[in-house]
Structure 1
Amino acid sequence: MTAASVERIDGVRCTTGESPAWDAAAKAWYWVDIPAKRVWRLDAASKTRFWELPEMAGCVAPRARGGLIAGMETGMYDVDLFDNGTVATALLGKPADLGAGMRFNDGRTDRQGRFWSGTMFMDMSAAKDIGKLYRYDGHGLSQPLVSGLLTQNGLSWSPDGKTMYLSDSHPQSRLVWAFDYDVATGTPSNRRVFANLAEHVGRPDGAVVDADGCYWTCANDAGCLLRFTPSGKLDRRIDLPFAKPSMCTFGGADLRTMIVTSIVSGKPDDAEWGGSVVLLRPGVQGLADAACAF
């Protein structure tokens, strides 16, 4: 177990903070507050601001041409944020089975700049395993590549891009899988269990792989980060000041700063920190996520 000094980002409290992403070109962090329909930015001058979106976004990632790509309630969208506070969105693709009560959830780019995100049924108490995983690239939105998901989460890729990680954070699953990944076609195969958090603590929420190839997952409900080696061995735990960490990623000029979002738990002992967004230095270097190239 390791303690880490965390820096709280002032003036930010999210109901469901999610999908932090480092935009190296803009030298800025982005993340979303899902139910508030907001996308936040923290710039190099430590100034924060947010934009109101027309619908909930579960995830965002920077695009190489500028702006963001987002997985939202009704599809994947191109999102442009303007200094005057306005937002422009354009639909990139919508799955045929993205029905009422569903939305996109966790998302991330692979090493080649393809954007991946999965769908979920928002009422987790219903435990509907109708979530599916999709890829967006130069051919548009793919057909489902993985099906049968309750609460899709935990996307990340190994340093060489040849292993894809995916989790299901629903209480009835709590699994992280690894896949062989064809970097030329963006196709996952050979799905196998990488980590079962029922053997550890919490639920595997958003995640990121570091430069050593280790997989960091936010252990939701357990208030910590867990790092697994490429062989699936737990080798490190960092406790956090909130109960429900939701996603983490690396950024900053040296890629040694980690940002972690969180969710309001509603518990009295979590009232001070729940929903906050923090920065920390875990002592390892991250990898630069590719901007969405399509």
Structure 2
Amino acid sequence: MVNLQTPEITRVTTPHATIRCGVGESPIWVAKEAAWYWVDITAKTIWRLDASSGVVSSWQTAEMIACLSPQNNGGFIAGMESGIFHLKLATDGKVQAQHLAAPATSEMGMRFNDGRCDRQGRFWSGTMLIDMSVPRAAGHLYRYTREQGISAPFISNLFVQNGLAWSPDGRTMYLSDSHPNSQLIWAFDYDTDSGTPHNQRLFVDMKTMDGRPDGAAIDTDGCYWICANDAGLILRFTPEGKLDRQIAVPMKKPTMCCFGGDKLDTLMVASIAAGQAADDEWAGATILLNPGVQGYAETAFVG
């Protein structure tokens, strides 16, 4: 039996305006700052919420930014349109961007999408066609490290790469494809020494469920929380792939969730306004809720 949760929801706002992200994505918790970050891909914006003061700040990037992870020696590593970057966010609202790498071969009209670090601090992200209406699996999944640079594709034939997460011990990697032509979540055995996934297998087929699999997070029970885009739900799957909990959220298109807060028991959830009705007040909202479990802080990139 699936446990349906209805926790209290808090919307992230500013004193002067309601935040409505065209394509909100990649929420992360940076513990040393006690702050949340997330991005709006189409608006080329990085957002920050100070958890103590409630102050919201933002920065504009030169090109679309889809994902970011903190870097252990300061700043962030990010997946953008033209490659992987190191970013420093200045107090004057400017972004210093250093291009680190790009795939050896890449066609026009693509960008990076979902990305995060494994438990050892290696950065993973995948590419996709910006125009999702093109039903072509042109995306690839890459690994980036300071020593080795960007890898050759580890996984190919992806429409919309998403759902990256690692089990608590780091030995299982999860990956999803959000496109309506796929809607699959896979699990892999993961070699933590070499940073290599293998033994790809189907974890969940969401074509038979409400929503498409988008971004994900892991809790301390080893369960996989994933946003069900188009269904207004956050779903929790056990390590065996069984759906055991779901949370209804007021946004039809939630994109990614992340654990954070002082006790790592809060979920931040981003969402999409693009394509939604102008009078849908929750479309594009970024929210906070307590799911009743704790998660893990995202591992910083070892740079």
| AA aligned opposite 1:3 | T
Runs (4+) of structure 1 exceeding 4 A deviation are none
Q: Secondary structure of the residue that 1:286 maps to in structure 2? A: coil
Matches within 5 A, 1:109-258: 109-137=117-145, 138-258=147-267
Aligned-pair CA distance for 1:6: 0.7
Contact 1:243 1:270 survives alignment (8 Å): no
Q: Secondary structure of the residue that 1:254 maps to in structure 2? A: coil
1:78 corresponds, among 86, 102, 105, to 86
Deviations 1:28-59 (A, max 9, x none): 11111001001111113111111000100110
Q: Which residue of 2 aligns with 1:35?
A: 42
Seq. identity, %: 55
Q: Which residue of 2 aligns with 1:9?
A: 12
TM-score, normalising length from structure 2?
A: 0.95
Contact 1:244 1:265 survives alignment (8 Å): no
1:126 and 1:264 map into 2 onto residues whose CA distance is 20
2:197 and 2:263 map into 1 onto residues whose CA distance is 30
Q: Secondary structure of the residue that 1:25 maps to in structure 2? A: helix
Residue 19 (str. 1) matches residue 26 (str. 2): yes
> Quick check: 135-144 or 105-114, which moved more?
135-144
Contact 1:74 1:98 survives alignment (8 Å): no
Q: Which residue of 1 aligns with 2:287?
A: 278
1:38 and 1:22 map into 2 onto residues whose CA distance is 17
Gap regions ≥5 residues in structure 1? none
Residue 55 (str. 1) matches residue 63 (str. 2): yes
2:150 and 2:64 map into 1 onto residues whose CA distance is 19
Matches within 5 A, 1:88-99: 88-99=96-107
Gap regions ≥5 residues in structure 2? none
Q: Secondary structure of the residue that 2:240 maps to in structure 1? A: coil
Q: How many positions carry a matched residue from both structures? A: 294
Q: Secondary structure of the residue that 1:126 maps to in structure 2? A: coil
| AA aligned opposite 1:8 | R
Aligned-pair CA distance for 1:289: 1.3
Q: Which residue of 2 aligns with 1:108?
A: 116
1:64 corresponds, among 72, 88, 95, to 72
Contact 2:215 2:257 survives alignment (8 Å): yes
Contact 2:80 2:112 survives alignment (8 Å): yes
